[in-house]
Structure 1
Amino acid sequence: MRTRRAARAGQYVALLAYLAFLVFPFLWLVSTAFKPPRELGSLHPTWIPQDPTLANFRQAFAEQPLLRAGRNSLLAAVGAALIAVAVATPMAYVLARRRGLLARAATGWVVVSQAFPFVLIIIPLFLLLKDLHQIDSLPGLTLVYVVWALPFALWMLVGYVRAVPVELEEAAAVDGAGRARILRSVVAPLLVPGMVATGLFAFVSAWNEFFFALVLLKSPDHQTLPVVLTHFIGAEGVADLGPLAAAAFLATLPSLVIFAIIQRRITGGVLAGAVKH
């Protein structure tokens, strides 16, 4: 009994330490965003700003086009999430219901493709987009995000499809429904929690992505929010800390708000997809 209690106490301590590790950077970011320059340069930093100010936010919007960059990031991220889920859903249905060697090979390739580093694919990807005349364009960047998110979205949705009872599909088939109608009318409604969770992960991945946006977008009018955030860092590597923290805080809010709104659906989708994965 004592051993079990000690093990459980150790688990709680580890969980609290992990939560503190995750929360600490965000809390420090929020604190820095509201501190005046005098407190930012203090030798004795404090958690709570002594004289909170919104000057950093005003300066951030005055120095960089955050609204335009946020719009670009939003368009690319939402487009990539919607397209990735729309394409991955029927593909995941086929892979989940097929048991042959081809299905297993395709699933294995999906997992292996996630190990490819960005640097390995950026040159052929750049040349391909150049041939398609999609360099320095949001549609081209969205296409890249779709391709990059598709393997992970497919891998997640395969698990969700396998959690759907086959008996429901067999009953619909007895009533004369074809494969397309079964997927649309029977399977898809049950996959909504998983599709929402998968789309959210694809959205967050595209929203936070920096490398592809940096390489593929040259025009200031097309740059996304992660790229614009680097403009607060000077040529000598010295950051304008207050405005940078304020802009980074604003860039973090959309993901937090979306997680807060659909948290229950995400949890339900993840648990459903994990049942038979």
Structure 2
Amino acid sequence: AGQVDALPGVIAIYLAVVLPFMIWTLRGFVANIPVELEESAMIDGCSRVGSFFRITFPLVGPGLVATAIFGFIQAWNEYIVAYVLLSSPNNQTLTIWLASFTTNHGPQWGPLMAGATLTGVPVVAFFLVLQRYLAGGLTAGAVKG
């Protein structure tokens, strides 16, 4: 009982898996921002919070977008945890719902492909909204050599 067959339990596991990846990725973006930029903003009269929102946050923006896209796709495509923990049809994720189109007689290709197409729509929409910020974010967090 407890968190078995409950969405909060699956969400907690998704956070435990995806959040370290996102923090590790964002660290590369934040580490590339020179401290001198914040210091010069404070010399010009910005507070610590003001320099964060006016200087640091805009520079980390592309990294946030890239990390958000990767984290979203990683959580969206997860199958095993949801398959093991969720048994009720009301709590199943889309990946488990798609697997239900495979029966003992083989896959039902029509409904399976229609469901797969509909399942991909939110990912494509999420990417299209954020794509203009992605190009800078993918290269900005690379390791310095």
Partner of residue 123, structure 2? 255
Q: Report deviation, 1:193.
A: 1.4
* Structure-2-length-normalised TM-score: 0.85
CA contact (8 A) 1:193 1:269 kept: yes
> Is 2:69 aligned against 1:177?
no
Q: Does 1 or 2 have the higher relative contact order (CA < 8 Å, sep 6+)?
A: 2
In structure 2, distance between residues paired with 1:145 and 1:274: 25
In structure 1, distance between residues paired with 2:132 and 2:114: 29
In structure 1, distance between residues paired with 2:38 and 2:83: 46
- Map 1:102-251 to 2 at 5 A: 133-174=2-43, 175=45, 177-178=47-48, 182-234=51-103, 236=104, 238-251=106-119
Q: Secondary structure at the match of 1:223?
A: coil
Between the two proteins, what is the percent identity of the paired residues?
42
Structure number with greater Rg is 1
Q: Report deviation, 1:159.
A: 1.3
**Unaligned stretches of 5+ residues in structure 2:** none
Q: Report deviation, 1:225.
A: 0.2
- Map 1:45-56 to 2 at 5 A: none
- Map 1:92-111 to 2 at 5 A: none
- Map 1:64-103 to 2 at 5 A: none
Q: Report deviation, 1:219.
A: 1.7
In structure 2, distance between residues paired with 1:140 and 1:183: 34
Q: Per-residue CA shift, 1:198-256, capped at 9, x if unaligned?
A: 1111111111110011112122111100001111111x261111111111111112212
Q: Per-residue CA shift, 1:73-101, capped at 9, x if unaligned?
A: xxxxxxxxxxxxxxxxxxxxxxxxxxxxx
Partner of residue 136, structure 2? 268
Q: Secondary structure at the match of 1:191?
A: helix
Summarize the Cα distance change of 1:157–1:244 in structure 2 as closer, same or farther, 3 Å threshold. Answer: same
Q: Secondary structure at the match of 2:62?
A: helix
In structure 1, distance between residues paired with 2:36 and 2:105: 61
Q: Report deviation, 1:181.
A: 5.6
Paired residue type of 1:164: I
Q: How many residues align structurally?
A: 144
Summarize the Cα distance change of 1:249–1:192 in structure 2 as closer, same or farther, 3 Å threshold. Answer: same
Q: Report deviation, 1:276.
A: 3.6
In structure 1, distance between residues paired with 2:55 and 2:11: 30
Paired residue type of 1:165: P
CA contact (8 A) 1:159 1:276 kept: no
Q: Per-residue CA shift, 1:158-211, capped at 9, x if unaligned?
A: 111122222112224444734x66545532232111111111111111111100
Partner of residue 41, structure 1? none
